[in-house]
Structure 1
Amino acid sequence: MTHTVTTLGSKSLRSRRGTVWTEAPGQPWAPLIPTRRPGTGPRGRSGGRSGGRESAPPLEVGYHSFKDVAEIHSFRTSLLSWYDKSKRDLPWRRLVTTVSDLNKRAYSVWVSEIMLQQTQVATVIDYYNKWMQVWTDLSKATLEEVNEMWSGLGYYSRGRRLHEGAQKVVSEFKGEMPKSAEELQKLLPGVGRYTAGAVASIAFGQVTGVVDGNVIRVLSRTRGIGADSTSPAVTEALWLLANTLVDPARPGDFNQAMMELGATVCTPKAPLCPECPAQPHCRAYRRVANELEMASKKLLGKTTSELPSMLDIEECGSAGSCSLCFPASQCWDGSLGVMNFPRKPVKKPPRVERTLTCVVERPTNAGGLEYFLVQRPSSGLLAGMWEFPCAFLETEVSEKEQKQILSDRLNSLLGRSTTPADLQHVGEVVHIFSHIHQTYRVYIHFLSEEPDAAAVKKEATETPSSSSRWVTKDGLHQSAVSTAMKKVRALGRGTETNKGDLYNEYYELNKRTEGRRQLSLDMFFKPPAKESL
């Protein structure tokens, strides 16, 4: 129902449905806070389901908000019309429309949202399809099985928390997923504000917004929000905007449309402004257009009085003191256009670490190769994953000392004598995690003798450590091994294989790297200066 709004002084507005919107003091961007009179809840909708929100969202005041319900309705209509015509055909979207069981629908959305965190859609699709085929009941899987299937996707704690959450749903909630964003965030491990909103709106139809990186970009540009997008004030403003805009009739589609717009049109670089359905509402686009008009008129010799008002070009009437505008220390860069938004703080550079690692191989009785793997601790980076024997290098030491450190490590793991002379240095692998710039100094150690049947049987029952094992090449690829270790293995095998094949393997691995940055091939492959491959 359309709201008829009249001004009550300067501090409150009243709708025909009994809700008074009260302005939050001292916040030029804040929405009018809803205060519902008893017995005036929206018909046909549980107040708890939508957090007690009116089906038409709170109105906002100020440059960084939408002026009225009509503008909000126009924004929703344009965006959803574009989404219906232009959305990508993705497997999780198909499942939502074809699965009638709400718990299964919520699970399918939950898995997709967790996988899509910090990972590109193209990478996720194959993992998602395989996951949904295998884990119809994730709670019955072991953590080892989860890690194996997650291998190569990166940010491995996501899979672990998804597994923990599935077990909790079965053991504590009798297989029933929490239905609201508030409950999802409160009760399920690894489910934050965004994921909770996405699952609740897409799977259960809760009228709640979402804010991820794509939505931040869309809202920052459309509302001219130039302050640090990670600051608490901006974060809360963006969530208020998202909750204000979400379409009460199609909350899930609207939220997906906002994310789709940011991913495909309102992109970080080279945005497609002429194709954007939000263009009529975009303050960033309007500012660029005004500046182009000013520049054009100046070239034509127009006077100052004939130029657009400077207020049309500034962020808002409170620019300089507004908590959502560009700070005084950061000016508008005309060369960037709409890409001035959003603004983020300069990232702290990742810490630099160096690690020694050794690819230990031995022949099998069948004529293949086996690799020795060690399991990482159950907490911390790459928790529970498998890797080649490693030793953290605290300070720079000579190659001779590196070999001694590794041989001592191998002696304790293998239960057999290994000398520094047994190790061959083959190069370095650089891998970028989200917060670590990791350089692996790679050595190989080839055990020439084949294990006899008795030795294999003994290893199976009396391994020096229960967290170590021998695996074949196929077993290596099926194990929960990080992409970094696969690069290490490719470099180690490169000493004995065709260089072209090695580069092809690196190329495939780098496409799936779990780090946020995509580096050149040369950065991943650094042979020692005096050694030839």
Structure 2
Amino acid sequence: MSRLRSAVVKGKKGRLETVETTIRTRKKSKAPVKEEPTTSSFPPSLYHTFSDPAEVVFLRSHLLRWYDKDKRELPWRTLALTESDINIRTYAVWVSEIMLQQTQVATVKDYYNRWMKEVNQMWAGLGYYSRGRRLHEGAQKVVLELKGQMPQTVDDLLKQLPGVGRYTASAIGSIALGQVTGAVDGNVIRVLCRLRAIGADSSSPAVTEALWRLANLLVDPERSGDFNQAMMELGARVCTPKGPLCSQCPVQSHCRSYHRVHVKQEQSAKELLGKLDMPDIEDCMNSGTCSLCPSEPWDDQLGVQNFPRKPPKKAPRAERTLTCVVTRPGEAGGEEYLLVQRPNKGLLAGLWEFPSVLLQEDNEVKQKRALCEEVNRVLRSCFNEHLLQYVGEVVHIFSHIHQTYVVYSMRLKDRAVTQQTPTEKRQWLTRPGLQEAAVSTGLKKIVKLFDTADSLKDKNSKDGKRQKPEGLKHDRSQKTKKSRPTAADGGGRQLSLSSFFKTVKEESS
């Protein structure tokens, strides 16, 4: 039996080398693609890959036939197929890939159409604002440093565009530039893990490298962009995280997970009938030592959803942050709000917020003192913490942080004491400017709480129960005025597409 297994493994290994040699030969006729680093964690077992060249060909054919018939009509796909200008085509795919990060297709479509039509600050509402900032930085680099020419290889996309990583570069390279390279996003991870019964932690280095190897092995050299989009489409619409539609899957016959479920069902049926000749379940020969096999037992209730396996989510850590809504009289009436910009890296990178400090003390006096010191640092002033008025608390949940904002307000009566020159990290905004600025959902909740407290104090004052403290009432008339947003407000316009890709003659002359 051991000799038989050895012969089978050797035979499969030989066929796998034939497939890989074929793929490498075909790649030579295309633009060069960055070689993936080898890793010793790639499993010795061929159970988790495609060792038969004929099966690879059939899988491509089945998947692309389904894609051609049932694919969704999406604006970036249409533009990628119809736009002859390689720069505009590459830019269009780049925008779509950045927008689609952590955001559903249905949400992106409208934003994408408006962005490509107007090319201005329209990101508010999509979330993950650092993506928009990096996209703008990349656009500036293309215009100022690359003479209006988009990078045209996967390697150059990786090196020259901010925020473009391995997947995004591969997606742009295959869809817009026709480079033969696989692309592994969340949907593709799920499809590949189920096709080849990969049950180890899908975020581990061993699994990540194995999935990229599989993607590069399977990608159709003649239709690389369509193939990668077909894999993503399959994961988004058929091979879904929950309730996968296996009966509609065009590559069902190639799926080890589905085969296992089917055999299990046959076994159960025959056991009920008392039959003993039950089919065997094909499994990895190195199960137990293989770096791609699951560490947990198969769960019949989950079926194909046994794959992929993800590490258990960590409970979000609890944080409490002191934040202060600082206002001053506006030049044209109403009030202006003090905002500071967050660092360019980390949580909510580059967004604007009210002056804030992470809560370190439970003592209320120390809390107010620390917050007042932060306001004084930002304004280079020496205001007293007695100016702070408690407003309330706001809870906002991030994926990994349970954030509670303890909100105070400070109304400054004298505009002259805060007349410092605005900086890149500090600005005063009117209410319309605040609404148009790049701010987080948490800040919007703080403003809503601030307005609610303001309304309650207004009502108390009218009822005669208590006098409204000065400085909390907004001039509502400001909402009806249209202020001209500045670049700091997030309202600056980008270049039009024609200007974007125009060679910067002044730079080269």
Question: 1:123 Cα shift?
Answer: 3.0
Aligned twin of 1:75: 59
Is the CA contact (8 Å cut-off) linking 2:391 and 2:453 kept in structure 1? no
Equivalent position of 2:374 in the other structure: 409
Q: Residues 89, 380 of structure 1: CA spacing in aligned structure 2 closer, same or farther, 3 A cutoff? A: same
User: 1:114 and 1:466, CA in 2 relative to 1: closer, same or farther beyond 3 A?
Assistant: closer
Q: Which has the higher contact order (CA 8 A, sep 6+)?
A: 2
Question: Which of 397, 403, 406 is the matching residue for 1:431?
Answer: 397
1:112 and 2:77 matched: no
Pair 1:321-2:289 in alignment: yes
Q: 1:250 to 1:169 in 2, by over 3 A?
A: same
- Render the CA deviation track for 1:365-423: whole Å, top value 9, x for unaligned: 76755322222234443333211121121x24133432333233334445474543641
1:447-486 mapped onto 2 (5 Å cutoff): 455=415, 462-463=420-421, 467-486=425-444
Provide closer, same or farther for how the CA distance between residues 61 and 110 of structure 1 changes in structure 2, counting only shifts above 3 A: same
Instruction: Name the amino acid aligned to 2:375.
Output: L
Structure 1, 273-282 or 60-69: larger mean CA deviation: 60-69
1:443 aligned to 2:411? no
Q: Indicate the residue corresponding to 1:529 in structure 2.
A: none
**CA contact under 8 A between 1:391 and 1:405: conserved in structure 2?**
yes
Q: How far off its partner does 1:169 sit?
A: 2.7
Match of 2:337 among 357, 371, 374: 371
> What is the Cα deviation at residue 89 of structure 1?
2.6
Question: Do the aligned residues in 2 keep the contact of 1:297 with 1:307 (CA within 8 Å)?
Answer: yes
Distance 1:181 1:325 in 2: 31
1:126-180 Cα shifts (integer Å, max 9, x gaps): 3323332333xxxxxxxxx8xx643443333323332333333334432222222
Rounded to whole Å, the distance in 2 between the matches of 1:248 and 1:223 is 21
Equivalent positions of 1:242-261 (< 5 A) are: 242-261=215-234
Change beyond 3 A, Cα 1:320–1:379 = closer
1:430 match: secondary structure: strand
Q: 292, 301, 309: which one pairs with 1:335?
A: 301
TM-score by length of 1: 0.74
Instruction: Supply the distance in 2 between the matched residues of 1:11 and 1:74 (Cα, whole angstroms).
Output: 17
After superposition, the CA RMSD in angstroms is 3.2
Choose which of 204, 217, 230 in structure 1 pairs with 2:203: 230
Q: Secondary structure at the match of 1:391?
A: strand
Quick one: distance in 1 between partners of 2:424 and 2:213?
51
Alignment deviations for residues 211-230 of structure 1 (CA, whole Å, 9 cap, x no partner): 11110100100111112222
| Paired position in structure 1 for 2:85 | 101
Name the SS for the 2:326 alignment partner. Answer: strand
1 CA distance for matches of 2:96 and 2:273?
54
State the secondary structure of the residue aligned to 1:217: helix
Distance 1:425 1:69, change over 3 A: same
What is residue 156 of structure 1 aligned with on the other side?
129
Residue 446 of structure 2 corresponds to: 488
* Alignment match, 1:387: 353
Q: How many residues align?
A: 440
- Secondary structure of 2:403's partner? strand
Question: Percent of pairs identical after alignment?
Answer: 57
Q: Which residue in the other structure is 1:26 paired with?
A: none
Contact 1:221 1:283 in 2 (8 A): yes
Match status 1:215 vs 2:188 = yes
CA contact (8 A) 2:45 2:285 kept: no
Q: What SS does structure 1 have at the residue aligned with 2:453?
A: coil
Contact conserved, 2:321 with 2:356, CA < 8 A, in 1? yes
Distance 1:477 1:307 in 2: 66
* Distance 1:391-1:299 versus aligned 2 partners, 3 A rule: same
CA contact (8 A) 1:211 1:242 kept: yes
The answer to whether the Cα contact below 8 Å between 1:429 and 1:488 also exists between their aligned partners in 2 is no
